[in-house]
Amino acid sequence: MSRYVVDASVAVKWLLPEPHDKAALTLLDSSNELLAPELIIAEVGSALWKRVRRDEMDPPKAQAALRALQTSGLILRPMAPLIDAALELACGLPHNIYDCVYAVLAVDCDCRLVTADAAFHTLVRRGPLADHVVWVGSLPN
DSSP secondary structure letters along 88-107: HHHHHTT--HHHHHHHHHHH
CA 84 to CA 50: how far, in whole Å?
29
First to last CA, the chain: 18
The candidate with the shortest Cα–Cα distance to 95, out of 69, 115, 74, 66, is: 115
pLDDT of residue 59: 98
- How many beta carbons lie within 10 A of that of residue 41, not counting itself? 17
- Give pLDDT tens digits for 104-138: 999 999 999 999 999 999 988 888 888 899 999 88
- Give pLDDT tens digits for 38-63: 999 999 999 999 999 999 999 999 99
pTM (global) more than 0.95: no
Domain ranges of the chain: 2-138
Thinking of the domain 2-138, which architecture would CATH place it in? 3-Layer(aba) Sandwich (3.40)
pLDDT of residue 17: 92
